[in-house]
Structure 1
């Protein structure tokens, strides 16, 4: 099927007309039909318009994953605005940076997240002050308006073009400040149109909603489900540390599609949570965000021979994913990594060396082009110009910072990072942001953060080495606590080493390869930063 709509919010409206009484979204203790979700979206849009949301205005949504939170995201679009999903588990300092950078007209918050918002607003212009955002509650907690105030049929929203901003997704920044990636309606619609056709998503499918809403993979879950008239089953965050609970969720909800980062699949395999021929309703299993170890994939494919397995690849800047690889059979050689495959419709993958496409088998840097490219970084033309460049044929392309090669059949293989960015637990992390946080800890003399493949389920393990200034005592537990106040939990280093002096190379720079060797398991080799 084709979406044939111009804006993301139109996907819901079209399915609400066709499937009004079908279940659209299922949360922990609440579900909505398509008609109910469409009505909730209208109510949100009306109140946002009444509180000054205009075309292109930002609305920050600081709330846990729930049906009304999804309604808040889509309601923002229906009001002509652009939403900014903010991690409710993030530290106040980082949340304040994101809200400050987005300059929202409104912040929508749920009751569990309200204490965090109150802490954040203490650092920003508050409600009622010039420049301060209006605060609206997604439940019945105090605010300038609450869910009880939301009302109305579909509003007359400001005119927004398909190429206009739909949402801002803030990712880790190398300077210590999160950077906002601009995502437009048409880039998401292009991927959703391809994905619904490629995977055969249909009404009645039961789709997992595993990633947090500030993670771009959730965009696919939400809008592909709505486009097909399927059911979106929101996976509770608490299941992230409960492999048997996660398996039970897939089984009990009779999910037909599961999509997550590979670390979840590795975790379930490690604890042997999936039985032979388990999940009889499951039709397809997708992963994206990091490398899935081939032995783990083989484990899943042997256990679930009835399931179709697909690897998706793509950074936030290229909108969800740019390439795919449908794995045809259980890998014969489990030492060979799974390819990232071929470009999705409308996308382009280029492996370049010195500005020219490499011949088959030669290693180069991976660039992306096509319909999924973001306009760039929010209010940062310098970063945009550095990342989005002109390709050999004069087209606009994105520099991923990944190394890759193309084989004789035109299939692309990922070979690792070329810079300081790593993937851990599915999150893209700039090690420089962690180092910037460490630099604020009193008593730190010198520090470095490296990513090391230690064979853990999380992917790359983040490791920190530091030295202490004279007269200070800084146990790793104290440093970890202070860094945890500045960066999200998934960015806090897992391994620590206090050293008298960090190693340096002949140029006087910190010897990061030596640090990786120090943290690497015995007998392992290391690469990357």
Structure 2
């Protein structure tokens, strides 16, 4: 058995075995594995000549077939890609480019006819020497039938030499998340980590070549890594759902039906959006055989609605931050369980170790023990951009650290900043974030505990609570149809006095961050607007 060293081997094997099988569907059409492979190689040649080898390539574009070939082409060129939301503020894009030390930039924004003026180039890339139009790159990658045999040979030799010099710990991509300092934090992910996770992922959940995977996440969100490389690994079809459909839930449900989607690997917030607005009603989604969700705690009432509609489908809770590519634990939902305490995080994926450390530094081993989640294993990211130039990571409350249980040799682990509790039978239940743990009236409170209590009340489908430090008060925001005053009365009988929210507010929908999680900061701001 030949061990893979590069994620491009997924694409190459699938194209070799199923060249005419549909690889990608986007708004512009459908593309085979042969087309995806050939276009990606051509992009690789072009980008190598632009100087992408060994260099960061920032791709500012909506997800599409052309964006994907730019990403894969970057890998063929021996570089690593950095996907960026084209709607991101210019300041954020500039901060990312600055952190990457003069990257090559591929601009796919199309705001107007002259969308890439010299001023916008300078504004975007902070003086980066090379900026490429995505459209120009795409055209050059799809119209080279006129190449001579000698040119084709020259291109093949260029790509072959680049591949020979690459190793499995070279980076594949960098994803920038929100840092604790307010500046974007770049997570560097290498080939070995992606290969280790994807091999385990597709085997664990039996992702197959005849699957049609509905991609919800934008390419700058790590959920998309499972979609892209999970599909390439088995030769499945990846369906890139247009961003606009997520503001039109009924059209989105119809789209899933028409496309005969079989697998959905989605953020919890996206699933809740559809059930909140009853978008599943009247649509036949019987082709869906599996739904895998992550990012936040899945409210039980929303899960129940999905399970009622997809009564034959498997549902899986996934856990793990971007730093541990892409998840480290999973739990297959048992339709016969009531889950009174919530859905557990489940079992560790193969070749990963998950352990909990209590606040006193001892290992959590007993039922009822609560500790912070640490993870080690082959799919750990390389670290953060600029981490070597900063000592802040040593004292941060979470991040890449030396294994506190090992003092003999270097043994990196990821300290997640998440708390969990050991349940009967050894299952692990998520208890909340360290940064969602607050001190109020002399008591330590986990905001997620308030959320769970509110969600257990009749008429509530989802809740997120926040702590207003300015006014020293707890606030709870909920979706549902129960009266605010009645709900507040119920909570006074179900929560300790110090945990009862000062104000309970009904909302029609939860504001979301760009990564699809509920935005508690925005909820706080809305509370000020409404007094």
- 1:341 paired residue number: 346
Is the CA contact (8 Å cut-off) linking 1:312 and 1:324 kept in structure 2?
A: yes
- 2:355 paired residue number: 350
Q: Tell me the CA shift for residue 103 of structure 1.
A: 2.8
CA distance in 2, matches of 1:383, 1:20: 49
Q: Tell me the CA shift for residue 276 of structure 1.
A: 7.8
Q: Tell me the CA shift for residue 101 of structure 1.
A: 1.2
Is the CA contact (8 Å cut-off) linking 2:40 and 2:141 kept in structure 1?
A: no
Q: Which of the residues 48, 56, 59 maps onto 1:58?
A: 56
TM-score normalised by L of structure 1: 0.77
Aligned-residue CA RMSD (Å): 3.3
Is the CA contact (8 Å cut-off) linking 2:58 and 2:106 kept in structure 1?
A: yes
Aligned with 2:275: secondary structure? helix
Is the CA contact (8 Å cut-off) linking 2:11 and 2:233 kept in structure 1?
A: yes
Aligned with 2:418: secondary structure? strand
Residues 163/451 of structure 1: CA separation in 2 closer, same or farther (3 Å cut): farther
- 1:365 paired residue number: 372
Q: Deviations over 1:441-493 (max 9, x none)?
A: xxxxx979999652249xxxxxxxxxxxxxxxxxxxxxxxxxxxxx9998672
Q: Which of the residues 300, 307, 322 maps onto 2:306?
A: 300
Is the CA contact (8 Å cut-off) linking 1:91 and 1:488 kept in structure 2?
A: no
Q: Deviations over 1:247-282 (max 9, x none)?
A: 112111101101111111112112222248931211
CA distance in 1, matches of 2:83, 2:260: 28
Equivalence map 1:420-459=2 (5 Å): 454-456=477-479
Which has the higher relative contact order, 1 or 2, with Cα contacts under 8 A spaced 6 or more apart?
1
User: Does 1:27 pair with 2:19?
Assistant: no
Equivalence map 1:285-434=2 (5 Å): 285-329=291-335, 331-333=337-339, 335-353=340-358, 354-358=360-364, 359-381=366-388, 382-385=391-394, 386=396, 387-394=399-406, 395-419=411-435
Is the CA contact (8 Å cut-off) linking 1:92 and 1:120 kept in structure 2?
A: no
CA distance in 1, matches of 2:188, 2:194: 11
Alignment: residue pair count: 445
Is the CA contact (8 Å cut-off) linking 2:121 and 2:131 kept in structure 1?
A: no
- 1:268 paired residue number: 274
TM-score normalised by L of structure 2: 0.76
Residues 456/86 of structure 1: CA separation in 2 closer, same or farther (3 Å cut): farther
Q: Which of the residues 87, 91, 94 maps onto 1:93?
A: 91
Residues 277/302 of structure 1: CA separation in 2 closer, same or farther (3 Å cut): farther
Q: Tell me the CA shift for residue 192 of structure 1.
A: 0.5
Residues 116/50 of structure 1: CA separation in 2 closer, same or farther (3 Å cut): closer
Is the CA contact (8 Å cut-off) linking 1:404 and 1:415 kept in structure 2?
A: yes
CA distance in 2, matches of 1:197, 1:119: 49
CA distance in 2, matches of 1:193, 1:166: 16
- 1:137 paired residue number: 133
Aligned with 2:179: secondary structure? coil
CA distance in 2, matches of 1:18, 1:489: 36
Q: Tell me the CA shift for residue 227 of structure 1.
A: 0.4
- 1:148 paired residue number: 140
Q: Which of the residues 214, 236, 239 maps onto 2:242?
A: 236
Q: Tell me the CA shift for residue 30 of structure 1.
A: 2.1
Higher helix share: 2
Residues 447/32 of structure 1: CA separation in 2 closer, same or farther (3 Å cut): farther
- For structure 1, the 5+ residue unaligned runs are 424-430, 436-445, 458-486, 500-517, 520-529
- 1:15 paired residue number: 14
Is the CA contact (8 Å cut-off) linking 1:60 and 1:104 kept in structure 2?
A: no
CA distance in 1, matches of 2:471, 2:88: 23
- 1:473 paired residue number: none
User: Does 1:280 pair with 2:286?
Assistant: yes
- 1:496 paired residue number: 525
- 2:105 paired residue number: 107
Q: Tell me the CA shift for residue 5 of structure 1.
A: 1.8
Aligned with 1:415: secondary structure? strand
Is the CA contact (8 Å cut-off) linking 1:80 and 1:160 kept in structure 2?
A: yes
Q: Deviations over 1:28-72 (max 9, x none)?
A: 1222100000011011100111111223x1111111110111111
Is the CA contact (8 Å cut-off) linking 1:287 and 1:311 kept in structure 2?
A: yes
